[in-house]
Amino acid sequence: MTPLPVAAQAVSAQAVAAPAPALDRSILHVQVILDHLGFSPGIIDGREGQSLRAALRGYQQARGLAVTGKIDTATLAALRAHRAIRPEARVTLTAEMLAGPFINPTPKDYGEQAKMPSLAYRSPAEKLAEMFHTSPKMLLELNGADAPVRAGATLVVPNVVPASRDYPADAKPEWRRTLQDLNVDARQPQAAKIVVDKSEGVLKVFDADEKLVAQFSATLGSGHDPLPIGKWKINGVDTNPRFHYNPKLFWDAKTGDSPEMLPPGPNGPVGVVWIDLSKPHYGIHGTPEPQTIGRTESHGCIRLTNWDAARLALMVKPGTPAEFRP
């Protein structure tokens, strides 16, 4: 069978967006460096935007720079210390990287989803996009409309390849596979406290010296389900979780909806990981739609991209304090 080009797969993997500014490889380089340093710019796309501005503010705060949210002279000078991190990488696709299953379209009805073996990616292009912290559209821009997605083909991707894949020895095999697929570096700082800041739209990670060591853009509640301001704790981490859909907990549940246990998968409602909080029914989790982070609402929980949620899962442990600020 002739493989589909990136362009054909990208159409089904991500909604058509409004025209965007041209790709700027200098901005791409900044995004890649920030991603490696733990100040996530969200989807790496070579363009300015709210997630990049938030990442820059976090990096500037952590480095004692003026907090401007801009790629100013002082910030650029600090980032140049990491210029050995190149903006792009060329990767040869393997059968393992392209392995499914793939399900397109994913049923919207929870009852139908409950019957499925998994809530998998919709296409190899979508899987590759999350693997390299980007979008199918960006893969298309970097490689051209005719670039094939098949084992043995070479693609240009944002260089988020981790320095270490020495994941915890007690990690479940499927979780190790998920971390590998999402290019999550095994070497992560340990969180002494996390702070969810509603005004900034971010989740911040502090170490034992109260130093800001990581930051992620997040979706934080809604008018119907506001962020639960207060001090909580991490109860535990559920990797590749099933999701119990209880319509009684959702204001927008359809009349007649019944409780369902949904299968695991990156395109499930909570993505690849659920970090349980001491506030009942609340958690920090991934998402099937990374492009919506910080731009839509949630049912009160804290939603991150799958790769950022997976990274955070390596930083926290049961008992880690979690402070939610207005």
Question: Domains in the chain, start-ordered, CATH in brackets?
Answer: 193-325 (2.40.440.10)
Find the mean pLDDT for residues 103-122.
93
Mean pLDDT of the chain: 90
With vertex at residue 234, the alpha carbon angle to CA 230 and CA 238, rounded to the nearest 5 degrees, is 135
Per-residue pLDDT at 298 exceeds 60 = no
What pTM, to 2 d.p., does this model score? 0.90
Q: Where would I find the H helices in 64-213? A: 73-79, 110-114, 124-131, 136-143, 173-181
Find the mean pLDDT for residues 182-192.
98
With vertex at residue 300, the alpha carbon angle to CA 240 and CA 320, rounded to the nearest 5 degrees, is 60
pLDDT tier at 18, thresholds 50, 70, 90: low
pLDDT tier at 249, thresholds 50, 70, 90: low
Model pLDDT, residue 26: 97
Per-residue pLDDT at 223 exceeds 90 = no
DSSP class of residue 290?
A: G
- Non-local (6+) Cβ contacts of 112 within 8 A are none
Inter-helix orientation angle 306-315/173-181, to 10°: 130
Rounded alpha-carbon distances, angstroms, from residue 204 to 52, 65, 259:
15, 17, 34
Q: How far apart are CA 191 and CA 90, in angstroms?
A: 33
Per-residue pLDDT at 15 exceeds 80 = no
Q: How far apart are CA 91 and CA 175, in angstroms?
A: 23
Rounded alpha-carbon distances, angstroms, from residue 71 to 65, 101, 265:
11, 40, 36
